Structure 1
Amino acid sequence: MTKTTGTDPLPDRLRRAVATGQAGLHRTWQHAVLTALLVVLLIPAALLVAPGFIGPEPPAPAPPVPAWQQAPASLSGGQGLSDLDPSAVVPSRESVTAQVEAVLKADGGGTFTGMVQDALTGQVLFDRGGAEGRVPASNLKLLTAVAALRSLGPNHRFRTQVAAGPAAGQVVLAGGGDVLLGAGESADGQVMGHAGLATLAARTIEALLASGVTGELKVLLDDSLFSGPPLNPAWQEGDVAAGEVAPLFPLAMNSARFNAAVTAGPRPQDAAMAAAEEFAFRLRTAGAAAGLTVAAGVERSPGAAQAGGDADRTVLAEVESATVAEQVNLMLQASDNYLAETLGRMAAVAAGGPGSNDGATATVRAQLNEAGIPADAMTLIDVCGLAMGNQVSARQFTEVVRAITSGPDPALREALDGFPVAGLTGTLDTRYGDGSTEAGAGLVRAKTGTLNTVLALSGYVVDADGRLLVFSFIGNGLTPGAAGNRTALDRAATALAGCGCR
């Protein structure tokens, strides 16, 4: 046992604990003093440094920008026009002309013609050779859009059918105008691939089993809905070889592309047979589990296509395309030549004419005349704009855009979503990015047109005063590859977007 003395009343263990506590208290007091000192020193330093993190005081709010002048942060499902105030000020012709003339200049050779009109009244605000026929390039697709919407109707769908063949064990795949078929299952929410060959094959097998068919099947192809040469002789061989267009048939996959995701390069030269062979493959796959086999190879059937109708043909299965309105918008956004030519032929068939190039051009002209847009002076060699022999004036294009944006036919309003939006969508997605045109980004909506010596831009814009303006600018004989020509078009449209031209 440890002995304690009178001079040391605390046990050693307790003494050590007290000593430790005193030392800790002493250190704690020192820390408190240091902490307080640091706080005193840091407060002014923080006040000096803080603005670097939180920034200066916000400036006074800017005046509100009109809704029609606000570039969208994201794209809505529909990009049509909201109601506009008809009392908004119409810009003066002198001011509009001065602004457009200052920027619509050719870079090198060639010339630009153009016209700007007030959409509601038709008042001409700029006119440089607006009545002169010009090679329009893909702006011609605007005319095809009007014809398709009027002749077919915006809600019409094309049917791809499978019918019983003329002999036992035969099935006939009949093209009905859908060239956006997908290889797989039907995709209801899409335009490309809305109708799928795998779905059509599965439905065909179900129908065959229900009717007691057994054994081997033979696939026949009926693509007789279109007539005349499948290739327009006015198209240049180089354009066909490069995949700008391909021989026309009333059924195809991916708008006559090998792959929907690859929109450039060579196309299948027999898109109907390629689709039929894919259908035979899908039919073989679907029939295997049911004990049905499919013979190798596909042959063309001499029978009439479904549009004319073979009254004795028994339809086994069918799939439907996206609506005409949806296809028109895809055609305009992507500037798809194959789809444009198909829609033109289908418009001709719906109007009672032949599904040929001549039928398509005649139908486009007739539908424009019926819509109140004089078209007799036009020269139409095709309906996609690839032919250099086409002749359409800027005035005719502004009248077409007027009809779409504010004319009396509500069916034409369905084409509004097809106009590419500057800097955001379609063939305008990479334009309007420099300092001279960025003010038009999100505001200008226009169809582009591009050939080797041709550039065109036709569309609409709501100006700074809330007035809807339509325009068309067409350059012919331009120096190939001169970058300033496209910029000139975009600057002219941007000038209209920012116009408070009173």
Structure 2
Amino acid sequence: MKKPMKFSLSLLLIFMLAFVPQINPEKPFVQATEEGGALVQELNQLLNNDPDLKGALAGVSVRSAETGELLYDHIGDIRLKPASNMKLLTAAAALSTLGENYKFATELLTDGSVKGVTLQGNLYLKGKGDPTLLKSDFDQFARKIKDLGIGIIHGDLVADDTWYDNIRYSMDLTWNDETYYYGAQVSALTASPNEDYDAGTVIVDVNPGKNTGVEPIVTLEPKTDYVNIINNAKTVAKDGKKSISIERQHGTNNIIIEGTIPLEASRAREWMAVWEPSGYALDLFKQSLLEQGIKLNGKVRTAAAPEGSNVLVSHQSMPLSELLIPFMKLSNNGHAEAIMKEMGKVVKGEGSWDKGLEVLKEELIKLGINTNTLVLRDGSGISHVNLIPANEISKLLFAVQDKEWFESYLTSLPIAGATDRMVGGTLRNRMINSVAQNKVMAKTGSISTVSSLSGYVDTKSGERLIFSIVLNNLVNGSKGKVIEDKIAVILAEQ
């Protein structure tokens, strides 16, 4: 008869521990598998069976806003193109480095002196990155020059855009983007056509002519001679086809209009990016000076103001907390890139993408983000080379909640189904009449084959959840928005 086997207490403990699951606080207790609670089951059912996700990648990360615990993770550690969810990182870094009250400056300087009503010397319009300058601001500059008693400028009118470097496009911007407002050139001196503040653009309106066979009527906002309209279009009969194209020739400010527009048809409208926006801003300022009766006796050109030039007029933009509203609500690419360069200028002494990205990475590290898993190329997300895992986005959204500037950050996010354009932003027409309406505060994102949505949702049970949805390799980007909305509604129903 065999003797019974004896176990020591230490061996017994080792044996028992071998069957205890290891707990990683960064991983959910229930992964994105077929097992799990109702939320996991519902999200899995959607992600695994939606036909529009066949062949696509869906990074989904859900956290508790209170604890940061990862509640759901579907390929959340896989690097994906974030599109404009990149702006969540840019805005957080800007608030951290520049502060809620930071303002962009614009200055009028001279290297000469005033004698009687004549400014003997050049007048420099020096931009320091403000993307919100309007024609009305240049009008105010001109009135202040007039108030100084100046009626004649016996010298040149000069644009100074040297606050930033002279690289106008982020490294991955494509030619088919640069003509339009979302791909406008970034300059330290620029101008916007209206209070959407799409810097470096003009709004082109094409209305039918009064008779068939004649050119349509083209108007610009603001009025400017800086662009050259080449109108090859024709007005046709009421029952004719409306087919108007508005394009700018690369490397020029020739805006070419082709096609047909029927009598009594609604206008065709496009926001067109100008070539070299510094000259555009200077043209608007020149108009303002002439409208105030101030005579110009010199040339119009671009150059740096000499050291020691005297500041005649100084202007400041709205604070960053207010600028975040059009920036984030309307997903303004130009704002993102100007902010990127401004962070580089303020922190590193160089207004460039390279230095701005250095600052961005440093701030993300402070917020606990693993920058070793990120690929960052710009501030807006227009690049197809940016790569960010959904789990890192949700981690960022958790980390920023205890910052003193978080309320400005949260307020800047679009709100689902909120009809006011500067409240709902890019989510104003989404999730209407659902449980998620007014409960989802999130940043949208969209570039070719990519759609994303990341932010916060207040649930039926009174809990706040953090989520990040990053969809890549989509055949139809608009279908991605439908999937995002379904996920957001599922979360709101919890």
The bucket for the TM-score relative to the shorter chain is 0.7 to 0.9
| CA–CA distance in structure 1, aligned partners of residues 388 and 330 of structure 2 | 21
Q: 1:208 deviation in Å?
A: 5.1
Q: 1:227 deviation in Å?
A: 1.0
- Residue 169 in 1 paired to residue 163 in 2? no
Q: 1:217 deviation in Å?
A: 4.7
Residue of structure 1 in register with 2:158 after alignment: 220
Tell me the secondary structure at the aligned position of residue 67 of structure 2: coil
Q: 1:368 deviation in Å?
A: 1.2
Equivalent residues in 2 for 1:169-208 (5 A)?
A: 169-184=121-136, 196-207=137-148
Q: 1:361 deviation in Å?
A: 1.6
Residue of structure 1 in register with 2:41 after alignment: 98
Q: 1:469 deviation in Å?
A: 0.7
Residue of structure 1 in register with 2:431 after alignment: 432
Could you give the per-residue CA deviations for residues 387-422 of structure 1, whole angstroms, max 9, x where no partner exists?
100011111111222233x22x21233111111111
| CA–CA distance in structure 1, aligned partners of residues 369 and 406 of structure 2 | 13
Over 3 Å counting, the alpha-carbon distance change for 1:443 and 1:338 in structure 2 is same
| CA–CA distance in structure 2, aligned partners of residues 97 and 370 of structure 1 | 31
Equivalent residues in 2 for 1:264-413 (5 A)?
A: 264-286=270-292, 288=293, 292-295=294-297, 297-303=299-305, 310=307, 312-404=308-400, 406-407=401-402, 409-413=403-407
Q: Determine which structure has the larger strand proportion and give its number.
A: 2
Q: Which amino acid aligns with 2:85?
A: N
Over 3 Å counting, the alpha-carbon distance change for 1:109 and 1:336 in structure 2 is same
Over 3 Å counting, the alpha-carbon distance change for 1:296 and 1:169 in structure 2 is closer
Residue of structure 1 in register with 2:175 after alignment: 237
Could you give the per-residue CA deviations for residues 290-316 of structure 1, whole angstroms, max 9, x where no partner exists?
xx4124652112337xxxxx4x22110
Q: 1:160 deviation in Å?
A: 0.6
| Contact 1:446 1:458 (8 Å CA) reproduced | yes
* Structure 2: gaps (5+ residues): 1-27, 31-35, 114-119, 193-198, 204-220, 223-267, 419-423
Q: Which amino acid aligns with 1:256?
A: G
Tell me the secondary structure at the aligned position of residue 37 of structure 2: helix
Q: Which amino acid aligns with 2:410?
A: L
Residue of structure 1 in register with 2:15 after alignment: none
| CA–CA distance in structure 1, aligned partners of residues 446 and 81 of structure 2 | 10
* Structure 1: gaps (5+ residues): 1-89, 185-195, 305-309
Q: Which amino acid aligns with 2:289?
A: L
Residue of structure 2 in register with 1:475 after alignment: 471
| CA–CA distance in structure 2, aligned partners of residues 166 and 388 of structure 1 | 48
- Residue 258 in 1 paired to residue 202 in 2? yes
| CA–CA distance in structure 1, aligned partners of residues 371 and 271 of structure 2 | 34
| CA–CA distance in structure 2, aligned partners of residues 166 and 299 of structure 1 | 17
| TM-score, with length taken from structure 2 | 0.72
| CA–CA distance in structure 2, aligned partners of residues 492 and 264 of structure 1 | 33
Deviating more after overlay: 168-177 vs 446-455 = 168-177
| CA–CA distance in structure 1, aligned partners of residues 157 and 281 of structure 2 | 12
Tell me the secondary structure at the aligned position of residue 401 of structure 1: helix
1 or 2 for the larger relative contact order (CA 8 Å, sep ≥6)?
Answer: 1
Over 3 Å counting, the alpha-carbon distance change for 1:366 and 1:318 in structure 2 is same
| Contact 1:106 1:484 (8 Å CA) reproduced | no
Over 3 Å counting, the alpha-carbon distance change for 1:394 and 1:263 in structure 2 is farther
| Contact 1:403 1:412 (8 Å CA) reproduced | no
Tell me the secondary structure at the aligned position of residue 413 of structure 1: helix
Q: 1:479 deviation in Å?
A: 0.8
Deviating more after overlay: 114-123 vs 92-101 = 92-101
Deviating more after overlay: 471-480 vs 167-176 = 167-176
| CA–CA distance in structure 1, aligned partners of residues 183 and 486 of structure 2 | 30
Could you give the per-residue CA deviations for residues 267-301 of structure 1, whole angstroms, max 9, x where no partner exists?
11221211111111112222x2xxx4124652112
Residue of structure 1 in register with 2:185 after alignment: 247
Tell me the secondary structure at the aligned position of residue 460 of structure 1: strand
| CA–CA distance in structure 1, aligned partners of residues 269 and 470 of structure 2 | 25
Residue of structure 1 in register with 2:417 after alignment: 423
Tell me the secondary structure at the aligned position of residue 408 of structure 2: helix
Q: 1:428 deviation in Å?
A: 0.9
Q: 1:91 deviation in Å?
A: 12
| CA–CA distance in structure 2, aligned partners of residues 125 and 390 of structure 1 | 26
| Contact 1:137 1:385 (8 Å CA) reproduced | yes
| CA–CA distance in structure 1, aligned partners of residues 273 and 414 of structure 2 | 24
Tell me the secondary structure at the aligned position of residue 114 of structure 1: strand
Q: Determine which structure has the larger helix proportion and give its number.
A: 1
Q: 1:228 deviation in Å?
A: 4.8
| TM-score, with length taken from structure 1 | 0.71
Q: 1:205 deviation in Å?
A: 2.6
Q: Percent identity?
A: 25
Over 3 Å counting, the alpha-carbon distance change for 1:343 and 1:215 in structure 2 is closer
| CA–CA distance in structure 1, aligned partners of residues 492 and 299 of structure 2 | 57
Tell me the secondary structure at the aligned position of residue 289 of structure 2: helix
Could you give the per-residue CA deviations for residues 216-265 of structure 1, whole angstroms, max 9, x where no partner exists?
35311110011152112311111112332122101221222214799954
Over 3 Å counting, the alpha-carbon distance change for 1:433 and 1:297 in structure 2 is farther
Residue of structure 2 in register with 1:130 after alignment: 76
| CA–CA distance in structure 1, aligned partners of residues 168 and 112 of structure 2 | 26
Over 3 Å counting, the alpha-carbon distance change for 1:228 and 1:120 in structure 2 is farther
| CA–CA distance in structure 1, aligned partners of residues 473 and 361 of structure 2 | 26
| Contact 2:160 2:305 (8 Å CA) reproduced | yes
| CA–CA distance in structure 2, aligned partners of residues 433 and 91 of structure 1 | 33
Tell me the secondary structure at the aligned position of residue 109 of structure 1: coil
How many residues align? The count is 380
| Contact 2:84 2:445 (8 Å CA) reproduced | yes
Q: 1:147 deviation in Å?
A: 1.2
| Contact 2:166 2:187 (8 Å CA) reproduced | no
Q: 1:106 deviation in Å?
A: 5.5
Query: How large is the Cα RMSD of the aligned pairs?
Result: 2.4
| Contact 2:184 2:201 (8 Å CA) reproduced | no
